[in-house]
Amino acid sequence: MLGSGDDPFGVAAAGLTWLPKEEHFGVRLDGRLVAHAGLLRLPVAVEGEETEVMGVGGVAVAPGVRGRGLARLVLAAALDHARTQGPRHALLFCRPPLVPLYRRLGWHPLDTDVLVEQPGSGVVTMPLRTMVTPLRDDARWPPGRVRLYSLPM
Ligand SMILES: CC(C)(COP(=O)(O)OP(=O)(O)OC[C@H]1O[C@@H](n2cnc3c(N)ncnc32)[C@H](O)[C@@H]1OP(=O)(O)O)[C@@H](O)C(=O)NCCC(=O)NCCS
């Protein structure tokens, strides 16, 4: 969908190992997949309090059809499903230049350290930005350090 480039998400420099997503949401145009968002449920702790989040990853729109609302559309489909799964928030990692785009879509950046697991090195601080969005009207992200008990997604 994103062509043959070896770093379609622009995150290779971070050198991270990522989890495959478990559920996939897509938009097809004339039968061709042109937009995708992946979802999976993950264990997390915020200031030691254990909970779960819906992790969002693999958000991508084919180069020829960007800027037409397809990321908004495919994320809305993924989050509609995420709302049925139980966790009170969805969480994603992105490059800093994408923070304004996700803000526009209702996501908020976290200003705390986020620890994630990595093969060989145990627990590392996520070098990308972490953003969250509520999945229920009354959900408020609590303050405190965030620890993901998995690879990032
Ligand atoms: C990031 C990406 C998914 C965006 O896809 P897209 O289809 O162009 O996004 P949309 O058209 O749905 O835009 C989403 C919203 O963000 C807004 N937006 C776009 N760029 C923006 C910016 N720089 N600042 C603020 N808002 C921005 C759009 O106006 C739109 O809001 P609106 O619907 O209210 O007008 C696409 O550029 C892509 O696939 N990039 C490569 C892969 C990648 O980096 N994925 C992200 C991994 S975290």
- CATH for the stretch 17-148: 3.40.630.30
Q: Is the CB of 41 inside a 6 Å radius of any atom of ligand 1?
A: no
* Nearest CA, atom 34, ligand 1: 104
Determine the average pLDDT of the residues in 78-97. 98
User: Tell me, what amino acid is at 145?
Assistant: R
Ligand 1 atom at minimal distance to the Cα of residue 95: 48
**The pLDDT of residue 3:** 79
**Structure tokens given for 2:** 């994103």
**The pLDDT of residue 64:** 94
pLDDT (tens digit, 9 = 90+) per residue, 129-152?
Answer: 999 999 999 999 999 999 999 999
* Nearest CA, atom 1, ligand 1: 60
49-61 and 89-94 beta bridge pairing: parallel
pLDDT (tens digit, 9 = 90+) per residue, 1-40?
Answer: 887 788 989 899 989 999 999 999 999 999 999 999 999 9
**The pLDDT of residue 8:** 87
User: Tell me, what amino acid is at 151?
Assistant: L
Q: How many CB atoms lie within 10 A of CB 12?
A: 11
pLDDT (tens digit, 9 = 90+) per residue, 43-61?
Answer: 999 999 999 999 999 999 9
Q: Which residues contact 10 (CB under 8 A, 6 or more apart)?
A: 95
DSSP helix/strand/coil, 26? strand
**The pLDDT of residue 66:** 97
**Structure tokens given for 87:** 């966790």
Q: Which residue has the higher pLDDT, 14 or 95?
A: 95
With 0-12 CB in 10 A as exposed, 13-18 as middle and 19+ as buried, what is 82?
buried
**The pLDDT of residue 47:** 94
Taking the centre of ligand 1 as the mean of its atom positions, its distance from the CA of residue 67, in whole angstroms, is: 6
Query: Please, how many CA atoms are within 13 Å of residue 49, restricted to the half-sphere of its CB?
Result: 7
Domain boundaries, the chain: 17-148
